[in-house]
Structure 1
Amino acid sequence: MSDTLEQTIDRPVTRLTRALPYLVLFGGVLIAAAAAILIRYIQGMEVPSTTIAAGRLGLAALILLPIAWSRAGDELRRLSRRDILLGIVSGVFLAVHFAAWISSLAYTSVASSVALVSTNPLWVALLSAVLLRERPSLPTMTGVALTITGSILIGISDSSGPDSGNALLGNILALVGAFGGSMYFLVGRSLRRHVSVLAYIWLVYTSAAVALLITALAFAGTANPLELFGGYPPLVYLLLLGLAVGPQLLGHTAFNWSLRYLSATFVTVALLGEPIGSALLALILFGEWFAPLQLAGFVLLLIGIAVAAQGERSGK
């Protein structure tokens, strides 16, 4: 990224076109929708879920290391202890999000897992008023209610299938991932008000990578990272790199950049477009058809996103 583009991206919102934050967020959602598909392929090659999560965040942090310190090194060195601590806390919540959600994909359908992990608006809307003193508008809250209802319908449909026992565990893990993701967004919202996106994502992704690496090593019963990541087919490493560059660096960075210009509630509601893309990809690649109840849930998700978007524009 050139210096000119970096300066353009981090200018105040009054100098940006009104549509740019929404376009960036939409592009991030499209890229992130591929994450569940890549993870399913990696899990199919018998890679533990915690190892996948650690590999995804670890590669992303390593790729960012020279870029962040060459372009935002001065800012990183000037960060206060409070900002560093908040960045670490945000990273730990991000680690919880990925560890729980990626694990859920081993037990339940792609559609249900991604839909339930995207119930962030429920938690963000409740906690934003307390932690950030943000009062969502009535249209935004209506959109949240619609998206939550859609997610519930998808979860109910999945739990009525023949493998409902594993599906229940997967759905619970997805909800744990939703709570972790919500806290990650809320802490990030407060930091992104005065910390650049490059400095922020490096601090948070690195903290998450360390937490996930420790977790993966504990689950594997080893202290040697080479044993943790060694011995897999070359395709595994290629897919992990794809996860790091695509959904993580491009997708999540788009989300974090949007947090500077859009409310945390709206960003998390917009992310509910991810289940739609993931479900369609799962249908094409894995033949995971949706039941009528799931389809109704997807429709409610889309309506909720549209209503919340209108509420965000009215609020501004």
Structure 2
Amino acid sequence: MSDSVARPRLALAVAVVAISTSAILIRWSTAPPVVAAFYRVLLTTALLAPVLLARHADAVGDLSGRHLLAAGLTGVALAAHFAAWFESLSWTSVAASVTLVQSQPIFVVTGAWLLLNERVTGRTVLGVVVAIAGIVVMSLGDLLGGTAVGPRPLYGNALALVGGLMAAGYVLAGRSLRQRLPLLPYVTVVYGVAALALLAVVLAQGLPLTGYESREWLLFLGMAVGPGILGHTLVNWSLAHVESSLVSVTLLGEPLGSALLALLLLTEVPSSWTVAGGAVVLAGITLTARSSE
């Protein structure tokens, strides 16, 4: 295998491992979920900003009003994604939350069809239907079977789905801006807006921004460096070197990795309903993601 093929695949493998740690770091944190989300985004922005100033100092200043609006919408969608998903982990299992938040390809193709008039194939429809069936199994099965993991699994699952929907909005709203800007200016601007939006939520709820133990600050930094920098940055870099279908399918390793880490580090065993429903959801997401290529 040549280096041009091996290096992106190695980068994807590292990225999936890094992203898979996100749910565990969130669970370990005792800070309010929206505060943890704020510091993850803020610290990621702070780490990227010096590189942006050194390499793309003029790119952000060249943005038009239209592109600034797109950046704002994208950042707000990303903030809503983090807020909903971080909160979901307080109420449902890691396996269910991470699987459902990965459902964003379903919302992307549906939104592209409704809002952008993009073509929808029969395979796309089948993928969406399969994924929805898996979501129903996962969300209702635990309650009917009496083996739910988490204090309010249905509520947590709903929040994770909202997180997936907002992630889809992040993708759709950012399309024009991503075409206009290189990767680093794009993600820095969007993360900056997301940090401001999350800060507004924290302040509106009257939550403390300081007074946390050093352990919490290390967890915030870990969320920024691991899932934020090593995870999503490597994924975006890989998109320039391998097919997006390979990237989409590889990212489905996150629910599996997160569930395994939750089993090992949190002693959290997903129920049989979550495992069965999650497998169906992942199959539907795979069909949907591949059909959009």
Query: Structure 1-normalised TM-score?
Result: 0.79
Q: Alignment partner for residue 198 of structure 1, among 184, 187, 196? A: 184
State how far apart, in whole Å, the 2-side matches of 1:50 and 1:135 are.
37
Q: Alignment partner for residue 110 of structure 1, among 65, 90, 94? A: 94
Instruction: Name the SS of the counterpart of 2:211 in structure 1.
Output: coil
State how far apart, in whole Å, the 1-side matches of 2:270 and 2:149 are.
15
Alignment gaps of 5+ in structure 1: 1-15, 222-227
Cα offset for 1:270?
A: 5.4
State how far apart, in whole Å, the 2-side matches of 1:184 and 1:268 are.
16
Q: Alignment partner for residue 71 of structure 2, among 87, 95, 102? A: 87
Listed one character per residue, the Cα deviations across residues 119-141 of structure 1 (whole Å, up to 9, x for unaligned) are: 21221111112444433554455
> Corresponding residue for 2:274?
294
> Corresponding residue for 1:39?
26
> Corresponding residue for 1:62?
46
- Quick check: 1:117–1:175 contact (8 Å CA) kept in 2? yes
> Structure 1 residues 29 and 188 mapped into 2: Cα distance closer, same or farther (>3 Å)?
farther
Instruction: Tell which has more relative contact order, 1 or 2 (C-alpha 8 A, sep 6+).
Output: 2
> Structure 1 residues 95 and 267 mapped into 2: Cα distance closer, same or farther (>3 Å)?
farther
State how far apart, in whole Å, the 1-side matches of 2:7 and 2:112 are.
24
Instruction: Name the SS of the counterpart of 2:152 in structure 1.
Output: helix
- Quick check: 1:186–1:264 contact (8 Å CA) kept in 2? no
Amino acid at match of 2:137: L
1:238 maps onto 2:218 in alignment: yes
1:275 maps onto 2:262 in alignment: no
Alignment of 1:11-50 (within 5 A): 27-42=14-29, 45=30, 47-50=31-34
State how far apart, in whole Å, the 2-side matches of 1:25 and 1:199 are.
22
Cα offset for 1:248?
A: 1.4
Amino acid at match of 2:256: I
Query: Structure 2-normalised TM-score?
Result: 0.85
1:154 maps onto 2:134 in alignment: no
State how far apart, in whole Å, the 2-side matches of 1:196 and 1:230 are.
34
Instruction: Name the SS of the counterpart of 2:268 in structure 1.
Output: coil
1:211 maps onto 2:197 in alignment: yes
Which region of structure 1 is more displaced relative to structure 2, 72-81 or 50-59?
72-81
- Quick check: 1:272–1:301 contact (8 Å CA) kept in 2? no
> Corresponding residue for 1:119?
103
> Corresponding residue for 2:112?
128
Cα offset for 1:254?
A: 3.7
- Quick check: 2:149–2:271 contact (8 Å CA) kept in 1? no
- Quick check: 2:71–2:189 contact (8 Å CA) kept in 1? yes
State how far apart, in whole Å, the 1-side matches of 2:210 and 2:110 are.
43
> Corresponding residue for 2:83?
99
Listed one character per residue, the Cα deviations across residues 89-144 of structure 1 (whole Å, up to 9, x for unaligned) are: 10000000011110111111111111222221221111112444433554455444
- Paired residues, number: 289
> Structure 1 residues 238 and 250 mapped into 2: Cα distance closer, same or farther (>3 Å)?
same
> Structure 1 residues 118 and 171 mapped into 2: Cα distance closer, same or farther (>3 Å)?
same
Which region of structure 1 is more displaced relative to structure 2, 162-171 or 83-92?
162-171
State how far apart, in whole Å, the 1-side matches of 2:127 and 2:119 are.
14
